[in-house]
Amino acid sequence: MVIKLIRISAVWCPACLIMRPRMQEIEKKFPNFEHIEYDFDLDEEMIAKYNVGEVLPVFILLDGDKEVTRLVGEKTVAEIENKLRCFE
């Protein structure tokens, strides 16, 4: 089963700007994951099922269709990496 890392961000969000280069690093570190980015405003239908809370960006790790972990807001590369290693 492919592990998917969903990233939900918005253009008006500074934390999303801060996180983009860090997530590019994460993409390189986890090449086996499928990395998908959704825009909070443009991809409303696609993200409806993920029950996005109050803070962006949101990172959701899916094993098939099952959510296995979620990270919210600004995180360091190390924080994300530590969380994702368990599911590699």
Partner 1 sequence: MTYLDYSATTPVNEEVLNTFVEVSRKYIGNPNSLHRLGVEANEIIKASTKQISNLLNIKESEIIYTSGSSETNNMVIKGIALKYQNRGKHIITTEFEHSSIYGPLTFLQKQGFKIDFVKTNEKGIVDLDNLKELLTDETILVSIGYINSEIGIKQPIEEIGKLLNDYNKCFFHVDMTQALGKIKIDLTNVDLASFAAHKIYGIKGIGMLYKKDNISLEPLIHGGKSTTVYRSGTPAPALIASFAKTMRLVLIDLDKHYEYVTKLNKKIKEGLSKYDNVFINSNEYSIPHVLNVSVIGIKPETMLHALEKYDIYISTQTACSTGTMSKSVYALTKDEKRAKSSIRISLSHLTKESEIDYFLEKFDVCYKELI
- Taking the C-alpha atoms of residue 72 and residue 64, their distance in angstroms, rounded to an integer, is 20
What would you measure as the largest C-alpha separation in the chain, in angstroms? 34
The nearest distance, CB 5 to partner 1, in angstroms, is 18
Binding mask 45-74 for partner 1 (x = CB under 8 A): -------xxxxx------------------
- Taking the C-alpha atoms of residue 72 and residue 51, their distance in angstroms, rounded to an integer, is 12
Q: Which is nearer to partner 1, 51 or 82 (CB)?
A: 51
34: contact with partner 1 by CB under 8 A: no
